Amino acid sequence: MKTILSSIQLSLVVLCSFTVAIAEEAPRNRVLVIGIDGIRRDALLQAETPNLKSLIKQGAFSENTEILGERYSKNNTISGPGWSSFLTGVWADKHGVHDNSFEGRNYDEFPHFFSRVKEQFPKARTGSFVDWEPIDKFIVRDADVRKVYPSQGADEYAQKDVEIAKDAVAFLEEDQPHVVMVYFGAVDETGHRYGFHPSVKQYMSAIETVDGHVGAVLKAMKSRTDYDQENWLVIVSTDHGGVGTGHGDGHDKPEIRNTFLIVSGANSMTGQIEEQTYLVDLPVTALTHLGVKIDPKWKLDGKAVGLNSIQNQ
């Protein structure tokens, strides 16, 4: 009788272990990352942005997020290196992108953070939605769903931002995503045309329009049947600010190099993030919330910020 019970107990242990292993193939938590190209921190706070400000109110917020690092800051203050740091968690001397040519890129060694998720959770469902084509062409990897709308100029980016929002909404409503990255490009293009400043009405209007897109995406996330059990974290930032109608060579211009970071969700802190934050912190924060164990071999430059409980560092 004891032998029979022992066999049954052993079988149950094996079955439970197998069930846990299956569950571990996908993360229990979920992340929505929103990148808004070229949005200045002062413009964000002065614009009518109820959706972004709701995330700030309910989560953790940094008004001093550096797009350049203390260890390395020789790259130009433009989108190529900015989004590379934003999505890989390392500075330009590692990911290799110093300008918009993407020459020297080293994404095999320092890939998009989706790849790090897939290494630990191969069944994680990932989606990327962008309208600045180089992000999709060069940086994106391991996206189960990827949409790109190549655009030129403020007007076309404004149109394509609408499509990006629709695609992200559909992914959130109809699929089973664990990690979603949504990029909006119209604010930056509007800044290049009219100026990057809170006094520029076209620039502020572009920010307010994108806030509406953010609201649609957030509504889709929150309308999910199992939303209360999925523990979503929303992270929002940008690649740079701007001065005049540009942002290149902005190493000594705080309006360009000092941006913001929003970390909002049930697992986030609330209020100001007191420690210094950097652009490379964003993907590490996402990975940590998802339960991805940070491997020192990845040589990430970022750290997890804005979370109530920080593990796996």
The Cα–Cα gap between 246 and 90 comes to 24
Please tell me the predicted confidence (pLDDT) of residue 71: 92
Q: In this predicted structure, what is the pLDDT of residue 165?
A: 98
Spell 126-150 as b/e; 16+ CB within 10 A means b: bbbbbbbebbbebbbbbbbbbbbbe
Q: What pLDDT does residue 21 have?
A: 42
What is the distance between the terminal CA atoms of the chain, rounded to a whole angstrom? Answer: 48
Q: Specify whether the CB–CB gap between 135 and 84 falls below 8 A.
A: no
Query: What's this model's pTM, rounded to 2 decimal places?
Result: 0.92
> CB of 40 within 8 A of CB of 207?
no
229 contact partners, CB below 8 Å, separation of at least 6 = none
- Residue 244 has which token pair? 């005049």
* Tokens of residue 78, six digits: 């433009």
Distance of CA 169 to the CA centre of its chain: 16
Compute the distance between CA of residue 73 and CA of residue 39 in angstroms, rounded to an integer: 20
Task: Quote the distance between the C-alpha of residue 236 and its chain's center.
Answer: 6
pLDDT of the chain, 313 residues: tens digit per residue: 444 445 445 444 444 443 344 446 999 999 999 999 999 999 999 999 999 999 999 999 999 999 999 999 999 999 999 999 999 999 999 999 999 999 999 999 999 999 999 999 999 999 999 999 999 999 999 999 999 999 999 999 999 999 999 999 999 999 999 999 999 999 999 999 999 999 999 999 999 999 999 999 999 999 999 999 999 999 999 999 999 999 999 999 999 999 999 999 999 999 999 999 999 999 999 999 999 999 999 999 999 999 997 543 3
Runs of H (alpha helix) within the chain: 2-23, 41-46, 50-58, 79-88, 92-95, 113-120, 133-134, 153-174, 186-194, 201-222, 227-230, 254-257, 281-290
In angstroms, the CA 86 to CA 38 distance is: 13
